[in-house]
């Protein structure tokens, strides 16, 4: 600690190093976002409505490009309800029409009823623009740490603190 | 402090590298496992009735109530990386303006878990006990991939936006599947042959028509 203070040049280099790591992670995320054409290409499952396929904390990779065919019945999609900011992972069970105006209805595998009740008032169906992406790949459990962080906010502060300290104090 | 942190970092880094490498290998084995799904589906009964979307609604819509026969062999899809097999039957029909089957709705589905994923199912204790017992000592149970349904009632009564469904022509039932892996890529019924993954044999019913609206019996019409 003291040595870092005594040598401002080294301290500056270390701060720069920390910023570099952060910006690299940010750019990788944004790059993946562009590649998958999805505002959030990796999501963590937050509810049990798709059990037994997905549990809380599982990591999903999304793909938002319809290169070969449109989003169709049976696909598992992540969508945002109008006016709400919580993404929901459910399966498309009905599709009426084609193109961007096609009407889509979703349902969670573990739910008895379809999602009509979850949608905004006056919204009976989803459209393609409501969909963030379709699930293409799956890694179990890895995302659980983000659930921990959002449920216990103090962990965030602790983790950021430790990360900052380690990067700044590391010599090489 | 320096060396302890570095060691912990190295151990954790090595652990994640190994874990991801093993996961990638497991996911890769899916590609070299042959898949030869077969299915045979036919419509056995169809009628169109008027009903309400829910108890409190005053809106009347036309609903297609279907029964079907399904004989499928998906046992080749149950391998060690299969967490669940989701099988679903959909009905599709064209719009009045085109012959393309632009409308599709799931009428029936089922979740087939691998024995190692049984504990994740959301079913009652009695059903869970029976399910676990059906594959005792096995981690993979290909026999679960065999489906034989006769005159099965549809789980979901379908309607269309606008509520008109009667007398639609050229309706077809299709069987689809979705494999949920323990780790890796999710796969659906393939549209093209891909390496060792064969296309599904059959799985499409003959074309049929939704009949005219079923006239209710006199007793039913007294209610509003």
Which CATH number belongs to the domain containing residue A59 in this structure?
2.10.109.10
Task: Report the sign of the C-alpha dihedral through residues B196, A69, A54, B117, in that order.
Answer: negative
Residue A109 has pLDDT above 50, yes or no: yes
pLDDT at A2: 54
B121 → closest Cβ in A52, A74, A98: A52
Please list every residue in chain B whose beta carbon sits closer than 8 Å to the beta carbon of residue A73.
Answer: 90, 104-106, 176
> Is the CB of residue B187 less than 8 Å away from at least one CB of chain A?
no
**β-strand pairing of A42-44 with A59-63:** antiparallel
Same domain, A123 and A50: yes
pLDDT at B64: 93
Give the pTM. 0.88
Distance from CA of B105 to the nearest CA of A (A): 4
* Residue that is written with structure tokens 């979740």 in the block: B111
Please list every residue in chain B whose beta carbon sits closer than 8 Å to the beta carbon of residue A53.
Answer: 83-84, 86, 111, 180
Integer Rg of chain B from CA = 23
Same domain, A123 and A84: yes
Residue A1 has pLDDT above 70, yes or no: no
Q: Which of A15-29, B81-95, B124-138 has the lowest mean pLDDT?
A: B124-138
Which DSSP helix (H) or strand (E) runs through B188?
strand B187-188
Instruction: Kindly report the average pLDDT of chain B as a whole number.
Output: 90
The total of other beta-carbon atoms located within 10 Å of residue B96's CB is 7
pLDDT at A171: 62
Please list every residue in chain A whose beta carbon sits closer than 8 Å to the beta carbon of residue B90.
Answer: 73-74
Structure tokens at A26: 């940010």
Residue ranges of the domains in chain B?
Answer: 1-32, 35-202
Known catalytic residues of A are 49, 90, 115
Beta bridge pairs of residue B92: B104, B172
Strands (E), B76-159: 82-93, 103-113, 146-153
* Residue that is written with structure tokens 């659930």 in the block: A147
Distance, in Å, from the CA atom of A166 to the CA atom of B179, rounded to the nearest integer, reads 43
pLDDT at B6: 83
Which DSSP helix (H) or strand (E) runs through B202?
strand B201-202
Residue pairs between chains A and B whose CB atoms are closer than 8 Å? 86
Same domain, A59 and A101: yes
Nearest to B180 by CA among B32, B24, B27, B34: B27
Residues B178, A135: C-beta atoms closer than 8 Å: no
Contact by Cβ (8 Å): A106, A131? no
Instruction: Kindly report the average pLDDT of chain A as a whole number.
Output: 89
> Is the CB of residue A98 less than 8 Å away from at least one CB of chain B?
yes
Same domain, A161 and A135: no
- Position B221 confidence tier, pLDDT thresholds 50, 70, 90: very low
Chain B from 56 to 95: CB within 8 A of any A CB: 83-84, 86, 88, 90, 95
Residue B223 has pLDDT above 50, yes or no: no
Nearest to B203 by CA among B74, B72, B85: B72
- Report yes or no on A146 lying in a domain: no
Share of chain A above pLDDT 90, in %: 59
> Is the CB of residue A159 less than 8 Å away from at least one CB of chain B?
no
Contact by Cβ (8 Å): B126, B134? no
- Report yes or no on A80 lying in a domain: yes
Query: For B177, which residue in chain A has the nearest alpha carbon?
Result: A74
Model pLDDT for residues B31-79, shown as the tens digit of each residue: 999 999 999 999 999 999 998 888 888 888 999 999 999 999 999 999 9
Same domain, A29 and A78: no
- Report yes or no on A78 lying in a domain: yes
Distance from CA of B217 to the nearest CA of A (A): 29
> Is the CB of residue B188 less than 8 Å away from at least one CB of chain A?
yes
Nearest to B214 by CA among B60, B65, B107, B90: B65
Nearest to B69 by CA among B166, B142, B148: B148
Same domain, A32 and A52: no
Contact by Cβ (8 Å): B86, B111? yes
Residues A76, B121: C-beta atoms closer than 8 Å: no
CA B168 vs. chain centroid, Å, equals 24
Residues 6+ apart with CB under 8 A from A129: A100
Same domain, A51 and A80: yes
Name the 3-class secondary structure at A133.
strand
Phi, psi dihedral angles at B161 (to 5 degrees)? -60, 135
- Report yes or no on A162 lying in a domain: yes
Which DSSP helix (H) or strand (E) runs through A3?
helix A2-6
Same domain, A31 and A51: no
> Is the CB of residue B113 less than 8 Å away from at least one CB of chain A?
yes
Residue B222 has pLDDT above 90, yes or no: no
Contact by Cβ (8 Å): A94, A84? no
Host domain of residue A122 = 42-141
Bond before A52 cis per omega within 30 degrees: yes
The total of other beta-carbon atoms located within 10 Å of residue B40's CB is 16
* Number of separate domains in chain A: 2
Q: What angle do CA B75, A51, B124 make, to 5 degrees?
A: 85
Name the 3-class secondary structure at B30.
coil
Please list every residue in chain A whose beta carbon sits closer than 8 Å to the beta carbon of residue B156.
Answer: 93, 114
Task: Report the sign of the C-alpha dihedral through residues A41, A150, A143, A80, in that order.
Answer: negative
């Amino acid at each position: 600690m003291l040595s870092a203070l005594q040598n401002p040049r080294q301290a500056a280099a270390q701060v720069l190093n920390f910023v570099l790591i952060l910006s690299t992670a940010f750019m990788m995320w944004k790059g993946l976002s562009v590649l998958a054409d999805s505002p959030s290409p990796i999501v963590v499952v937050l509810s049990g409505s798709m059990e037994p396929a997905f549990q809380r904390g599982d990591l999903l990779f999304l793909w938002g490009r319809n290169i070969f065919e449109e989003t169709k019945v049976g696909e598992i999609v992540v969508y945002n309800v109008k006016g709400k900011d919580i993404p929901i992972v459910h399966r498309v069970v009905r599709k009426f029409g084609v193109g961007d105006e096609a009407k889509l209805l979703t349902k969670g595998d573990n739910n008895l009823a379809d999602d009509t009740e979850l949608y905004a008032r006056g919204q009976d169906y989803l459209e393609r623009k409501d969909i963030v992406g379709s699930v293409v790949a799956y890694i179990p459990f890895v995302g659980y740490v983000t659930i921990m962080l959002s449920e216990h906010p103090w962990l965030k502060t602790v983790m950021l603190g430790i990360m900052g300290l380690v990067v700044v104090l590391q010599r090489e | 402090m320096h060396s302890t942190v570095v060691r912990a970092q190295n151990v954790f880094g090595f652990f994640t590298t190994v874990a991801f490498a093993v996961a990638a290998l497991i996911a890769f084995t899916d590609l070299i496992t042959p898949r030869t799904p077969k299915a045979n589906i036919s419509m056995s009964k169809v009628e169109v009735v008027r009903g309400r979307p829910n108890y409190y609604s005053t809106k009347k819509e036309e609903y297609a109530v279907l029964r079907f026969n399904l004989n499928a062999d998906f046992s080749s899809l149950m391998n060690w990386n299969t967490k669940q097999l989701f099988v679903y039957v959909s009905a599709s029909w064209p719009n009045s303006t085109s012959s393309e089957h632009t409308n599709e709705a799931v009428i029936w589905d089922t979740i087939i878990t691998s024995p190692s994923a049984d504990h994740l199912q959301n079913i009652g204790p009695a059903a869970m006990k029976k399910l676990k017992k059906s594959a005792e000592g096995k981690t993979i149970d290909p026999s679960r991939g065999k489906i034989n349904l006769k005159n099965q009632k549809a789980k979901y009564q379908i309607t269309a936006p606008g509520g008109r469904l009667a007398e639609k022509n050229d309706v077809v039932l299709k069987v689809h599947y979705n494999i949920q892996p323990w780790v890796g890529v999710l796969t659906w019924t393939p549209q093209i042959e891909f390496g060792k993954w064969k296309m599904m044999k059959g799985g499409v019913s003959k074309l049929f028509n939704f009949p005219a609206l079923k006239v209710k019996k006199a007793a039913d019409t007294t209610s509003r």
